[in-house]
Amino acid sequence: MTSAGSRGTGIRESGTERVGIYPFTQRPDEPMTGDPFEHAVRLARAALGAAPAGLVTDLDGTLSPIVDDPAAAQLVPGVPELLRELARALTVVAVVSGRSARDARSILGAAAGELLIVGNHGLEWLVPGSDAPEAPADTQRLRASLLAALAAVPPLDGVAIDDKGFSATIHYRGAPNPAAARGVLLAALAEPPPGIEVREGRRSVELRPVGSGDKGSAIAAIVERYALRGLLVAGDDVTDLDMFRAADILRGRGVATLTLAVAGGREVPRSVSDAADATVPSPESFVNLLRTVAASLDA
Q: Give the per-residue pLDDT at 71.
A: 86
- What are the boundaries of each domain within the chain? 16-133+213-298, 139-209
pLDDT (tens digit per residue) in 146-179: 999 999 999 999 999 999 888 899 999 999 999 9
Q: What is the model's pLDDT at position 10?
A: 27
**Could you give the CA distance from residue 112 to residue 86 in angstroms, rounded to a whole number?**
12
Q: What is the pLDDT of residue 26?
A: 36
pLDDT of residue 23: 33
- Are 196 and 77 in contact by the 8 Å Cβ rule? The answer is no
As a whole-number percent, the residues of the chain with pLDDT over 70 amount to 86
| Least confident range of 129-143, 218-232, 274-288 | 129-143
Half-sphere exposure of 239 (CA within 13 A, CB side): 31
Nearest of 42, 36, 162 to residue 102 by alpha carbon? 162
User: Is the bond preceding residue 155 a cis peptide, omega within 30 degrees?
Assistant: no
- Quote the pLDDT of residue 32: 55
pLDDT value of position 45: 96
Q: Determine the pLDDT at residue 138.
A: 78
Inter-helix orientation angle 36-48/283-298, to 10°: 50
When the candidates are 3.90.1150.10, 3.40.50.1000, 3.40.630.30, 3.40.190.10, the CATH number that belongs to 16-133+213-298 is 3.40.50.1000
Across 202-213, average pLDDT: 85
Q: What is the pLDDT of residues 6-22, one digit of tens each?
A: 333 222 222 333 222 23
Check pLDDT > 90 for residue 24: no
The pTM score is 0.79
In this prediction, residue 33 has a pLDDT band, given cuts at 50, 70 and 90, of low
| Beta-bridge partners for 22 | 19
Per-residue pLDDT band for 239 (boundaries 50, 70, 90) equals: confident
Mean of all residue pLDDT scores within the chain: 85
Please give the pLDDT value at position 266: 65
pLDDT value, residue 164 = 86
Give the residue-averaged pLDDT of 86-98.
96
**Range with lowest mean pLDDT among 113-117, 119-123, 139-143:** 139-143
CB 27 within 8 A of CB 2: yes
